[in-house]
Every structure is written in structure tokens, then in C-alpha cells.
Amino acid sequence: MVCLLFCALLASGGCVRRRMTVRSQPSGALVYVDDQKIGVTPVSTPFTYYGTRKIQLFKDGFEPQMVKQRFLPPWYELPVLEFISENLWPGEIRDERMVEIQLAPLQNVPNEQLFQRADALRGDAQAGNLTAMPNVVPASAPVVPADPLTQPLPYLGNGSPAR
């Protein structure tokens, strides 16, 4: 009887649905989460693991925003309890996380200041000095993994991948 009850519990199996929603003020910003394009705010996406996520927002006329958002696991996702909530709990548990980001208007830089910065960078480059670029993904740039060997080959439609 106990074995039958245990099998019934396993068959009913629960699950935890994790979802993050990113909103911006103003809305309509392009969102990247961990360097993967998600969509335009407001946008929701499922996630599997808790931890720190890098969230980047881009919108014309506004400064690019990068936020490191930490998602801590709820009490039912702690070791041992996690097995029960993921496998034995009857029904579905939803974990909804909300991230709200205020975008700042783009600051206009006077031409004179821009030319001075360009001259300084040119001088540094001619002297052989390297200048670190900020870690910002432009809205138009595709996000590519660092290792090209991890990318799938494009499919040509004739039954074989391109080489």
C-alpha cells in the first residue's frame, strides 16, 4: 500500500516555473540577459537557475544600462526541499521575479569635447597605448558566443550543414 501511494506521488509530480519580467521606464528598450537578446520591454522570459544575471537595456535617445541582478532561491528551492517541490509536490509552483529599470536620457557631448577625446585616443594609439573599451553590447550587434566551435553550423537545406 505504501509503495502504491509513493508511486502515485511520483506520477503526479510537481514542478516549479521560474519567470523573470524586465520593465523599463520608458518602455520599448531592447533587453539582453546574460548577453542573449530577450526582446523589448516589457518582456518576460523563463529561467532555470538562480544566481546573478547581467541585464542590459538599450533604447535610442537613452544611456545604455547594465545591471547585475541577483536572484536568490526561495525557501522551497533549498537542498532537500528542492527535491520535494520539483518532484513530489502535487501541482505547479510559480516563481515570478520582476526587474524594473529607469533609463536616463542620453547626454549630448559638445563637439569640442568630443574632438579633444578623439585626439587623446589617437595620440594614445600612436604611442602604442591600449585603451579598454566599456563592456557594452550595441543594440544592432548580434550576440555571438566567445568560442566559435560551440556555434551550430548553418543548415543549407540540402541535408548537410555548411562547412
**pLDDT reported for residue 22:** 92
Q: Assess if residue 116 is contained within a domain.
A: no
Q: Please state the three-class secondary structure of 44-109 as a single string.
A: EEECCCCEEEEEEEECCCECCEEEEEEECCCHHHCCCHHHHHHHHCCCEEEEEEEEEEECCECCCC
> How many whole angstroms separate alpha carbon 19 and alpha carbon 94?
8
Report mean pLDDT in 10-residue bins for the chain, 163 residues: 50 70 92 92 87 91 90 73 66 82 87 89 86 58 49 49 49
The pTM (predicted TM-score) of the whole model is 0.57
For the chain, first and last CA: distance in Å?
Answer: 59
**pLDDT reported for residue 91:** 72
Q: Assess if residue 26 is contained within a domain.
A: yes
Q: Assess if residue 54 is contained within a domain.
A: yes
Residue 54 near residue 68 (C-beta atoms within 8 A): yes
**pLDDT reported for residue 155:** 46
What is the layout of strands, in order, in the sheet containing 65-71? 36-40, 30-33, 51-58, 65-71
Which among 71, 82, 72 has a CA at the least distance from the CA of 15? Answer: 82
**pLDDT reported for residue 77:** 67
Q: Assess if residue 14 is contained within a domain.
A: yes
Residue 105 near residue 111 (C-beta atoms within 8 A): no
Q: Assess if residue 87 is contained within a domain.
A: yes
The tally of domains found in the chain comes to: 1
Residue 143 near residue 137 (C-beta atoms within 8 A): yes
Domain that holds residue 7: 2-102
Q: Assess if residue 7 is contained within a domain.
A: yes
Q: Assess if residue 153 is contained within a domain.
A: no
Q: Assess if residue 151 is contained within a domain.
A: no
Residue 62 near residue 29 (C-beta atoms within 8 A): yes
